[in-house]
Amino acid sequence: MDVVIAGAGISGLAAAISLRRSGHRVTIYERSSLNNEIGAAINIPPNVGRFLLPWGLDPVGCRLVTSQGMYFMSPTNLEELAGHSFSGVAQAFGAPLYYAHRVDLHESLKWMATEPGALGVPAVINLKSAVQNYDPDTPSITLTNGRTITADLVIAADGVHSSAVEAILGKTNPPSPAKHANCCYRFLISRHDLESDPETKFFLEGQQPLGCRIWPDNENQRRLVCYSCRNHEVYNFVAICCNDKIMTKREDWQATVDKSEVLNKYTGYHPSLLAVINKATDVKRWPLLYRPPISTWYKGNMTLAGDAAHPMLPHHGQGGAQGIEDGLALGLCFNDMKDKTEIRKRLAIYERIRRNRAASIQVLSNYGFDEGAPAELAKFLEGEPSPTSVTEMIKLAYGHDTLQKTIKHMTEYDPAFEVSDGFFPHSVDVGTVNGNYPGPTH
């Protein structure tokens, strides 16, 4: 089967890895040149770490940080308010929570998608190839240069602004302001810069810097979040707050602002925290806009993946992970498929596997871990109870097993279904996954 993927981001590359290892020819069309990849840190939670490592992700080569916990800290006196140790996460959920620099994860996924020695035909990536139009029924994409490319299957993984959503739904999925805050600042600070200044050296001391720290000020609808990546050499900051000057109704992740704007928004936080923020040299500001779950992900021989299907807010650190789960499921739904008349049936299975799962995380992403679950969540949980605590929210996110769920659905569709030998080239015995994957223990 010839597969066209729009977008060489995290979800597009994950789909390419899975589909090439499932016996298909994959061509990716990416709008950028990929020469100046930028980005901050990203979570690699257990729900994807369980299969990313067997896929070939190298924690050492990617300089991943293993999180030791989540710590809620007072923004005024810096004392710990509540702590959640992650020492048992790997045992409970099959993998640790890792923190990575987005560029390092992206490069690893790109290598796995295109490496010549792995199972299947290496994916081909065409750069500076932005998609202008989608035709789900042919299916085909039309690039901005006027060229039209047809395929057996088209996957739109080209982000939150993808026109594929309208091509599938017949209407747009417009955003609305986020529930509590409408602004997010992101910046990186090196360990060296923090360590070399006596005023900020404190920030590296104790157990908390080994995990994720959150300084919430719920009364003023603002919070500061920090965790490290690249072997603790770089600290990633996310500052979420209200900003009356933001009037845009379109996401923009590249707006650069002066750090004085952040310092002004966090007036009242402890002076030592403000001294840390003052170390920032490149601050990006983006509006927080919430897009609700959509009613369907596919039409004809075209489907969605990643942010095109389920754009997330940053509160739960699952945006990239949900796109990776999409990619895994897509490949396995089409594993070794020879009869192209089955494509639409298998797209329906992909949607059944993924839509409610991603929608549940999408809804939760509008709320912080400490803010409770909304009533809306229940309709996407397929009978499971809504989480009532931070621990239960973590279990909902980390305990879900996309591999196990996909195998179950595909075995019901085709009792002869098997995961291809070589799909997991590192440390996973295929015999343990063909209809008998144990999943995580809780």
CA dihedral 366, 368, 370, 376 (to 10 degrees): 10
Distance, C-alpha 181 to centroid of its chain: 20
Q: What strands lie across the sheet with 140-143, from one edge to the other?
A: 131-135, 140-143, 148-150
DSSP conformation class of 385: P
Helix (H/G/I), strand (E/B), else coil: 132: strand
Residue in 186, 223, 354, 355 annotated catalytic = 186
Residue 333 neighbours by CB distance under 10 Å: 29
Query: 134 an active-site residue?
Result: no
Catalytic residue among 29, 185, 227, 398, which? Answer: 227
Cβ contacts of 381 within 8 Å, gap of 6 or more = 356, 360
Contact status, residue 150 vs residue 140, Cβ threshold 8 Å = yes
* Number of neighbouring beta carbons within 10 Å of residue 195: 12
Is 346 one of the catalytic residues?
no
Taking phi first (over 0 means left), then psi (-120 to 50 degrees means alpha), and beta for anything else, what does residue 317 get?
Answer: left
Report the C-alpha gap between 401 and 222 in whole angstroms: 33
Do 316 and 97 touch, CB atoms closer than 8 A? Answer: no
Strand ranges (E), 45-109:
65-66, 69-73, 80-85, 98-101
- Closest Cα to residue 335, out of 14, 18, 4? 18
Q: Which residues contact 1 (CB under 8 A, 6 or more apart)?
A: 23, 24, 25, 152, 153, 334, 337, 340, 343
CB distance 297 to 325 below 8 Å: no
Distance CA 223, CA 203 (A): 17
Distance of CA 248 to the CA centre of its chain: 24
Q: CA neighbours within 13 Å on the CB side: how many for 114?
A: 14
Cα angle for residues 436, 438, 442 (degrees, 5° grid): 160
Distance CA 305, CA 155 (A): 7
Active-site residues, by number, are: 186, 227
